A = this chain, B = another copy of it.
Amino acid sequence: MAEKIRVTVWNEFRHEKSEESIRTIYPDGLHAVIANALSKDAELEVRLAALDDPDQGLPLDVLNNTDVLIWWGHMAHHEVNDALVEAIRARVYYGKMGLVVLHSGHHSKVFRSVVGSTGNLSWGRNQKEIVWNINPTHPIAAGIPDHFCLESEELYAEPFYVGEPDETVFLSWFEDGFVMRSGLVFKRSAGKIFYFQPGHEECRSFYNEWVQKVIHNAVYYVKPAVSAFEIPEGAPHWGFRAADEFDA
């Protein structure tokens, strides 16, 4: 891993181009707002990527120089190349890249494939949401108050069909009577994935200071760990007897 943490913020970046009301909120794409917030940290080297960029924004030289990939997609999940999904999956599993999936990314090929899940949940109208910090000593909750309010977010509601996550950091309350595990950590093979529910394109959540801080914390949490040995590819054959290694 390079000295700086190299973050690539990937956005489908379609709503912002096709819908005036969305463009008004996120004129340069919602990924630009996320990236701007992260860029205040000089330890991070932040790059933008979008579906309509060459190689869907993630050519090999970008992927190979990304420590943490942030993913936002929605209407064009099906357009993402299967080969790209596999490339991301491998990097996460081999501990070379951490993954942060935002909002409607729960239904992306990337999330479903890496986590191993349908990613299904229920949804509804934009409404008031309160995000509760239920794990205040978790690194992703560092600096986050016991709760914060989002004036308007899209309803995402349980059951969220993801099995039992490895760590639950946030739970959300929604005005209309629904709840959602809104901040979840998954560990898969040698990698970590964080899912965070806020971030509908019609809402301003990515401008919220706490949403920004959660994403910032998550970058540090899922970034590749330094391992004493390379995670091997495939299933190595061991021709030796470990039991013979003793000094005696």
Contact = CB atoms under 8 A, between A and B. Distances in A.
Interface of A: 90, 93-95, 107, 113-118, 120-125, 128, 130, 132-139, 141-147, 149, 151, 155, 157-164, 166-168, 171-179, 181, 186-191, 224-229, 231-248
B229 A188 contact: no
Contacts of A143: 226, 228
12 contacts: A120-B232, A122-B232, A123-B236, A133-B159, A133-B228, A142-B227, A146-B228, A151-B247, A151-B248, A162-B189, A164-B166, A173-B243
A172 B179 contact: yes
B177 A139 contact: no
Kindly report how many copies of this chain are found in the complex they form together. Answer: 4
A231 B115 contact: no
Of the listed residues A114, A147, A171, A237, the one surrounded by the most CB atoms of chain B closer than 10 A to its CB is: A171
A176 B242 contact: yes
Contact of A163 (B94, B144, B160, B189): B189
A163 B189 CA distance: 5
Contacts of A238: 122-124, 155, 157, 178
Nearest to A163: B187
A118 B93 contact: yes
B161 A93 contact: yes
B189 A178 contact: no
Contacts of A159: 132-136, 146
Contacts of A236: 122-123
A4 B172 CA distance: 36
Nearest to A121: B235
A153 to B, nearest CB: 12
Contacts of A147: 242
Nearest to A232: B120
A235 B178 contact: no
